Amino acid sequence: MPPTSRPLRKLGFLTIGLFDEADPRRGHQSTLEIIELGERLGFDSAWVRHRHLQYGISSPVAVLAAASQRTSRIELGTAVIPLGWENPLRLAEDLATVDLLSGGRLNPGVSVGPPMHYDEVKQALYPDTAEHEDFGYRRVERLLDFVRGKPATDFSGVEGIEVFSDRVQPHSPGLGGRMWYGGGSLRSAQWAGEHGMNFLTSSVVKAEGSEQAADFAGIQLAQIRAYRDHHPDGEGARVSQGLVVIPTDSATPEQRAKYAAYAAARLPRTAAPQGPARLMFAPDLVGRSDEIAEQLTAHAAFREVDEVAFALPFSFEHEDYVQILTDIATRLAPALGRPAAV
């Protein structure tokens, strides 16, 4: 097997944290148990998705606050918080608080754009300002300014017995350097680089300016290189890739059949760009760890990164995630040149 261009340095995973409406506590506890397992298995990072008005984690910062008290080493990330639902100043306070509680392990990932189904939700979310909200990059810039300690007000000092700060409190030094932007286009990659953010790229990219519909890896590679070309750290700028990876080494026959059916049902969407946005989806990687390692080392974009956050499938059971994470840590990681930690 040929070596990758960049040896794998950080091994992570991403989970959506689904739950049953009738028993939401159990689903959240399962997510916390999976993060604890990830730490025991030697993963470097655990990431949670963000879902609103769905049966997935709606408050990842709160979940990661809980995870920070049940773990001691593993980095904790969001992939990603859609800022259209957030007030940047309030979010900056929450992020800094959890980062301090975790001992500096938080990696907040964010994205821009209007909330999903905005016409249906805007009266509940922004009843007085729905037509005036800015869902572009300026919203990220505001968050970055607050996290990095720029003033949020002209007032500071003592008023009576209370002391006021002109910047967000608490302030967590170092958090500003651990902010990630989740992007899938050349424009978002370039913007993230210009603003000194880290870059999250996933199994979805935008096929722009190219008729090579099936070349997902080439499109993603171009975005990674555009990002680094515009980042102050150049080739040293951090990029994390998040493909869906399902090793089957220790899976039962029933699990293997379920995993194969899951990937097969999603495969047609990978054949060509989808919808007006021309979104391109990467095929899910299912099979033995040595087979997946061969596919990854042949992937042009994977060869450009040294950090991954392999995405767990949306709708599997807790036991499936235990098997998949265990195989990633003990079988796939060594096959990629990273020694197993357990």
Report pTM: 0.96
The DSSP secondary structure of 21-73, one letter per residue, reads TTBHHHHHHHHHHHHHHHHHHT-SEEEE---SSSSS-S-HHHHHHHHHTT-SS
Is residue 149 within 8 A of residue 179, CB to CB? The reply is no
Token output for 289? 């760890």
Predicted confidence at residue 216, as pLDDT, reads 95
Query: How is residue 95 annotated by DSSP?
Result: H
Q: Quick one: pLDDT at residue 214?
A: 58
pLDDT score at 339 = 77
Q: Is 72 exposed, middle or buried (0-12, 13-18, 19+ CB in 10 A)?
A: exposed
> What's the pLDDT score for residue 210?
54
CA dist 218 and 74 (Å) reads 31
Retrieve residue 298's tokens.
């042949």
The answer to whether the bond into 170 is cis (omega within 30° of 0) is yes
Banded pLDDT at 5 (limits 50, 70, 90)? confident
38-97: pLDDT as tens digits: 999 999 999 999 999 999 999 999 999 999 999 999 999 999 999 999 999 999 999 999
Mean pLDDT score, 117-132: 98
User: Domain 10-152+165-335 falls in which CATH fold?
Assistant: TIM Barrel (3.20.20)
Query: Which secondary structure element, helix H or strand E, spans residue 90, and what is its range?
Result: helix 88-102
pLDDT at 211: 54
pLDDT number for residue 1: 41
Q: What is the pLDDT of residue 275?
A: 92
Neighbours of 270 (CB within 10 A): 17
Q: Position of tokens 């424009």?
A: 187
Mean of the per-residue pLDDT values for the chain? 95
- 131-180 pLDDT, tens digit per residue, is 999 999 999 999 999 999 999 999 999 999 999 999 999 999 999 999 99
CB atoms within 10 A of CB 306: 18
pLDDT given at position 2 = 43
